[in-house]
Amino acid sequence: MIGIDWGTTSFRAFRLDDQGAIVDRRAAPRGILAIEGARFEEELLRQVGDWIADGETRVLMAGMIGSRQGWQEAPYVRCPAGAADIAAGAIPVPFAGAALRILPGLTVTDAAGVPDVLRGEETQIVGALAAMAEVAVACLPGSHSKWAEVEGGRITGFATYLSGEAFAALRGHTILGRTMREGPNDTAAFDRGLARAADPGHLLHHLFGVRALALFGALGEAEGASYLSGLLIGHEVRAACAGDGASVHLIGAETLCGLYARAIAARGAQAVVHGEEAAARGLFRLSAEVNWQ
Amino acid sequence: MIGIDWGTTSFRAFRLDDQGAIVDRRAAPRGILAIEGARFEEELLRQVGDWIADGETRVLMAGMIGSRQGWQEAPYVRCPAGAADIAAGAIPVPFAGAALRILPGLTVTDAAGVPDVLRGEETQIVGALAAMAEVAVACLPGSHSKWAEVEGGRITGFATYLSGEAFAALRGHTILGRTMREGPNDTAAFDRGLARAADPGHLLHHLFGVRALALFGALGEAEGASYLSGLLIGHEVRAACAGDGASVHLIGAETLCGLYARAIAARGAQAVVHGEEAAARGLFRLSAEVNWQ
């Protein structure tokens, strides 16, 4: 089968054998925002047409490809939801080359009536389920970081944090960015930001401190962005993670997971890093529950 | 005398008589960032040269004009600071037409060693002192909102919140802005944002809720910006204001003070609005303490 994680900014495809082992993979910066004129079928064939020509008959997709801006909308499934619930929400998409299904995202509503959503992360969480305890917490860092609670193999709830996008906006479009220079992550500065997040005071106040520290020469131009990153991730982790020594299952890109693992350790919890293959495992696991008829 | 509040984005001048009454005023969008080639003297003469020609011999300035990017740097004075301390930090600037002094800003360092700064607001607070109780709180909303504690006529400490600039960056440069339309403030949506700020959950999570509400049609395009504004101001006010029925002295532009007054009322405190003339009163009050020799 072919499993695809097709998000806002990237396209990742896995060719999986009958046991779910990855026999081939493709990745391209061809997220749905990059596809002009909604030519998703054309793009799919360009990326993995050779696998289909070679005999693959099932294509399962997850992520923003199932959003209103994607190929076809797969309505959100409500939490709590396990693999069977997610698979039942898959929608068939007309496609000449193979049976094609798009998985749904999940939604949850908090006590105040405010909704939350995710798309693609449900599949990655399903892919990491086998490594999780009966009750577990998963964190999927990114522009919109997701923190999900898992119980008995079902995603019971989750919350999104805008940390990644807020970082980019604050760095690129406020006075804070004026004293920041491009460069590699500075671990010491990141840790200072993490420590600052644990101080009394609201994030909106801590943010101005980035400016004031720079003004007095107490935060260098090569340190500023890492400090800001540590500050935001620190605030997110402190808010989302109880820090009672429990494990947090981190799923995502290696570098970002490394930063979150540091923040989780500083919080007094410990990170179990899953890596990006969780998506492939989730797609394989869900394909067994999807109605392919 | 001539009193000038010369900030980052605007220039405001007051001609004051011997009793401190405003006999004339000028305002222009000629903040220090708008002055090319640091031609501050030229700009001052363009704005109030006629007052000087008419016999004014003293010009007192406050605000970012005294920063490193301004006409001449007036080093920060450390809190606690009263009118005499601030006036003692005024620096003389060579100027042919009159005696010219630039007032300093204030600085404070918190328990964690992180500094904070303000420039211009110290003068506005001094201008509002006469209306304050022995122990009072002042809030000066803006791109960088300041919350100051006042005791016995001295500013004992303060904290800055990046709310205004964060609003502009989040609205203009994240996914949140995509579902927002320009328009007048929507009070009901602002109040919903305020109420959301009082819900459990971190600001970074509440921010994503703006997106999710829009996605489900629960927040209209004409409501989004006001909701986001209420959310940020609500978070700021909840963090900065104890809400124990005490008074908060609000100093600033009328529209913004109106929004903050709403947030302060929602917090269970009450606002005393001072308006922008506090700057003129503060400049007059400080001129009496400045060394003009």
Structure tokens at B148: 């100051």
Residues of B with CB under 8 A from a CB of A: 110-112, 114-117, 144, 159-163, 165-166, 168-170, 172-176, 196, 199-205, 207-209, 211-213, 215-216, 218, 232, 235-236, 239-240
Chain A interface test: which of B117, B158, B162 (most A C-beta within 10 Å): B162
Residue B152 burial by CB count (10 A; 0-12/13-18/19+): exposed, middle or buried? exposed
**Alpha-carbon distance A249 to A132, whole Å?**
8
- Reported as a pLDDT band with limits 50, 70 and 90, residue A244 is confident
Helix (H, G, I), strand (E, B) or coil at A27: strand
List beta partners, residue A284.
none
Q: Identify which of B269, B48, B287, B9 has the alpha carbon closest to the alpha carbon of residue B143.
A: B9
Residue B254 burial by CB count (10 A; 0-12/13-18/19+): exposed, middle or buried? exposed
- pLDDT for the residue numbered B244: 82
Chain A residues with CB-CB distance to B176 below 8 A: 162
Q: For B214, which residue in chain A has the nearest alpha carbon?
A: A115
- pLDDT for the residue numbered A116: 98
Nearest chain B Cα distance for residue A145, angstroms = 9
Residue showing tokens 């570098």: A255
DSSP chain B: -EEEEE-SS-EEEEEE-TT--EEEEEEES--GGG-GGG-HHHHHHHHHHHHHHTT--EEEEESGGGSTTSSS--PPEESSB-HHHHHHT-EE---SSSEEEE---EEEE-TTS-EEEESSHHHHHHHHGGGS-SEEEEEE-STTEEEEEEETTEEEEEEEE-HHHHHHHHHHHSGGGGG----S--HHHHHHHHHHHTSSS-HHHHHHHHHHHHHTTSS-TTTHHHHHHHHHHHHHHHHH---SS-EEEE-S-HHHHHHHHHHHHHTT-EEEE--TTHHHHHHHHHHTTS---
List beta partners, residue B5.
B12, B62
Nearest chain A Cα distance for residue B204, angstroms = 5
Contact B161, B175 (CB under 8 A): no
As a whole-number percent, the residues of chain A with pLDDT over 90 amount to 97
Q: For A211, which residue in chain B has the nearest alpha carbon?
A: B116
- pLDDT for the residue numbered A245: 82
- C-alpha to C-alpha distances, B274 to B63, B80, B130, B238, B250, nearest whole angstrom: 18, 22, 11, 21, 6
Structure tokens at B143: 């791109």
Q: What is the DSSP letter of A14?
A: E
Nearest chain A Cα distance for residue B52, angstroms = 35
**Alpha-carbon distance B143 to B229, whole Å?**
12
Q: For A207, which residue in chain B has the nearest alpha carbon?
A: B162
Integer-rounded Cα Rg, in Å, for chain B is 20
**Alpha-carbon distance B292 to B99, whole Å?**
7
Structure tokens at A34: 């990059």
ipTM entry: 0.96
List beta partners, residue A140.
A146
Partner residue facing A202 (CB), from B116, B161, B174 = B161
Q: Identify which of B174, B131, B135 has the alpha carbon closest to the alpha carbon of residue B152.
A: B135
**Alpha-carbon distance B174 to B195, whole Å?**
22
Q: Identify which of B31, B22, B30 has the alpha carbon closest to the alpha carbon of residue B3.
A: B22
**Alpha-carbon distance B217 to B158, whole Å?**
40
Q: How many CB atoms lie within 10 A of CB A249?
A: 23
Q: Do B208 and A144 touch (CB under 8 A)?
A: yes
List chain B pLDDT tens, one digit each, 293 residues. Answer: 999 999 999 999 999 999 999 999 999 999 999 999 999 999 999 999 999 999 999 999 999 999 999 999 999 999 999 999 999 999 999 999 899 999 999 999 999 999 999 999 999 999 999 999 999 999 999 999 999 999 999 999 999 999 999 999 999 999 999 999 999 999 999 999 999 999 999 999 999 999 999 999 999 999 999 999 999 999 999 999 988 888 999 999 999 999 999 999 999 999 999 988 999 999 999 999 999 99
Chain A residues with CB-CB distance to B216 below 8 A: 115
- pLDDT for the residue numbered A246: 85
- Strands A22-28 and A11-16 come out as antiparallel
Nearest chain B Cα distance for residue A32, angstroms = 15
pLDDT tens digits, one per residue of A204-213: 999 999 999 9
- pLDDT for the residue numbered A243: 83
The mean pLDDT value for A159-184 works out to 96
**Alpha-carbon distance A157 to A173, whole Å?**
33
Structure tokens at A232: 């935001």
**Alpha-carbon distance B284 to A94, whole Å?**
76
Structure tokens at A121: 């992360």
**Alpha-carbon distance A24 to A15, whole Å?**
5
Chain A residues with CB-CB distance to B199 below 8 A: 110-112, 114
Q: Identify which of B191, B174, B258, B202 has the alpha carbon closest to the alpha carbon of residue B226.
A: B191
List beta partners, residue B26.
B13
The mean pLDDT value for A136-149 works out to 97
CA atoms within 13 A on the CB side of A33: 6
Nearest chain B Cα distance for residue A89, angstroms = 18
Q: Identify which of B178, B68, B168 has the alpha carbon closest to the alpha carbon of residue A175.
A: B168
Q: Do A236 and B202 touch (CB under 8 A)?
A: yes
- pLDDT for the residue numbered B35: 95
